[in-house]
Amino acid sequence: MRKMIYTYMLILFILISSIQLTVSQQSQQPRTKTLLLIIPGIEVSKLKYGVPLEEYINRSSITIVKPIPIYNDLYYELLILNTSLDPKKVIVHNDTVEFMNGSIVKPWEALNYTQIENIWSNTTVFINIRSLNPLKNNRTLNPYFNLTKQIPPQILVVPINGSIKWNLLNTTVNITLSDNTFRITLEEYNIRGVVFHNETNATDHIFINVSKPGLGVPMGKYHIKFRIIDYNETHVIIFTLGSREVSDWLSSSFGIFVKPVTPYIPFEYFKYMGKDDIKWVIEEVMSFYQEMISVAYRYKNAILEVFEIPLFVELHEAYLQNYIDEELMIDLEKLVVDGINKVLNITKLRLGETNIIIYIPFTYRENSTRLFIEGLYPIEPGLYRVENESMIQNITTTLLKNDIEFKILNIRDKYYVFIYSYEHIINGLGGIDNGYLIVYPSSTPGHTNVVIDTENVIGYISSLAKGYGIGMSSAGEIIEDLRSEIKDLNDKIRDLNGTVRALNDRIARLNISLGQCRAKYLNLSNNISNIINEWREAKEREKQLMIYSITGTISILVIVLTLYYIGRRGLSKQR
């Protein structure tokens, strides 16, 4: 484990060093224009469809990115815009952001605009980024902002050569048929005889000025289209995608938008439509995207254009909810890719040769392990709420048993679980796979075989804001250098592992020798102890013998002296 951590630290150090070095080297070069496309939920292979996308991708470096929960597009928007946001301490769900203190705000209220200005400066334009307030950032087009002024999608059934009351706009809708051509009239708005083109079954966009209060639609200026989705001998069914107001969703520096504003795909209406009608809806949404980027290019001082396309996520969710089947989803994905190709063609026409970066935060896995865990309520892919605190132990035990990496977060006595092992489908949500970073042009095109973390990609994207050009033609070289460095590190680690194994073998042998020496030492110690004991016993016997010897000698001497004394006295008496 310690060696693994050491390896990751070295890899991170190399990546940071490479990026810093490139910034230093290129900061003196002329700044180049860059289009950053954020496209969650689509495989690289599906993007290689049509011109110029296929050509761009073939000439790009492609790096795998490891995603982090929560796996939704809004969450990654916030990470990119607010680099100080702790991804482990917020809940992003239903177009809201919940913080640790329990406050729930709209995404554009969760950002530090001073920090955004400092990081992105006045050379970055944000397109279709729902997290930004266009009134606080003057280079923003956000059709999701403060979505109150809008005409919602509608289906109307109108008699042929007759009329109905459209209560939403308080107007009479009249449909006429003459010379095989349908025409529509909106009486109260002085819109008369607008043609449904036979080729498309749709009208051109119609300008509606809602000037009276108290209607179902707030006062404002709107542009909408109508399409015939069915008819018979007596009635015609028409559909409109609706639109939002022309001016309250983009910064004032971009002026007025004079086309329908239709960022959403209204999947709930698909059950009333044929396939051609559904394809028309997708084409209209992509047409809005193309018009939107054309308006964004009015800002001539831009160095970086950041443009999000969340439609593949929307299509995937519609498929999961059975609004569309798999075959139709594949067809609609191709239509979206066609629309992206048109965006790139507009970019080339308006900006000339441009650096293109495509960031895919995550994709979807076709085959995933399904798992049910009692007590986990699914909120978003990668995010769950614990239904009862008493279930936490069972939940954590099940997750650990299945080798699933997770983190538990407590917000105002509610427990949330972030799932980092994204390949599982847990309680119906999940099935996420790796993302990608595609950089065009690259001097070393193709897959880099390097996996980088989301945090590193966010830092990499932030470095583009000043127009340094980091990662363009040199990105492949940086990643190739990184791959080479990693290979060298792996080689060194293998060598060190070999050395460690050899040292371990030597230590094992020394331990065996040491054990043998200890055995000999113990034997010698025992022998010495025995000898010492024998010596002590001998000394004791010697001492005893000495005592006996001395005692005996004295006794003999006493006897001799006694006998001598007696004998001498006897001789004296005889004399």
pLDDT tens for each residue of 245-266 = 998 899 998 988 999 999 999 9
- Which range marks the domain in which residue 492 is found? 471-526
Residues 80, 38 share a domain:
yes
The two structure tokens encoding residue 33: 């224009």
Shared domain for 69 and 81, answered yes or no, is yes
The answer to whether the beta carbons of residues 223 and 205 sit under 8 Å apart is: yes
Statement: residue 22 has pLDDT above 60: no
For residues 533 and 411, which has the higher predicted lDDT (pLDDT)?
411
Domain assignment present for residue 170? The answer is no
Give the span between the Cα atoms of 479 and 470, in whole angstroms: 12
Instruction: With residue 275 as reference, give the H or E element that holds it.
Output: helix 275-296
pLDDT at 518 exceeding the cut of 80: no
| For range 365-386, the mean pLDDT | 92
**What does pLDDT average to over the chain?**
84
Instruction: Judge if 449 and 317 occupy the same domain.
Output: yes
Is residue 295 situated within a structural domain? yes
Least confident of 107-121, 382-396, 485-499, 560-574: 560-574
**Residues 334 and 441 reside in one and the same domain:** yes
Q: pLDDT tens-digit profile of 265-305?
A: 999 999 999 999 999 999 999 999 999 999 999 999 899 99
- Is the same domain home to 497 and 393? no
Residue 516 pLDDT: 61
Q: What is the pLDDT of residues 313-347, one digit of tens each?
A: 999 999 999 999 999 999 999 999 999 999 999 99
Question: Is the same domain home to 114 and 70?
Answer: yes
Q: In percent, how much of the chain has pLDDT > 70? A: 76
**Are 288 and 348 found together in one domain?**
yes
Domain match, 48 and 102 both? yes
The tokens describing 179, both together, are 């010379």
Q: Per-residue pLDDT averaged across 427-432, rounded?
A: 91
227 closest CA partner among 238, 235, 211, 216: 238
Contact 141, 247 (CB under 8 A): no
> Which pLDDT band, with edges at 50, 70 and 90, does 460 fall under?
confident
Pairwise CA distance, residues 9 & 6, whole Å: 5
State whether 388 and 425 are in the same domain. Answer: yes
For residues 402 and 500, state if they share a domain.
no
Question: Does some domain include residue 539?
Answer: no
- At 10, is the pLDDT very low, low, confident or very high (cuts 50, 70, 90)? very low
Instruction: Give yes or no: residues 440 and 350 share one domain.
Output: yes
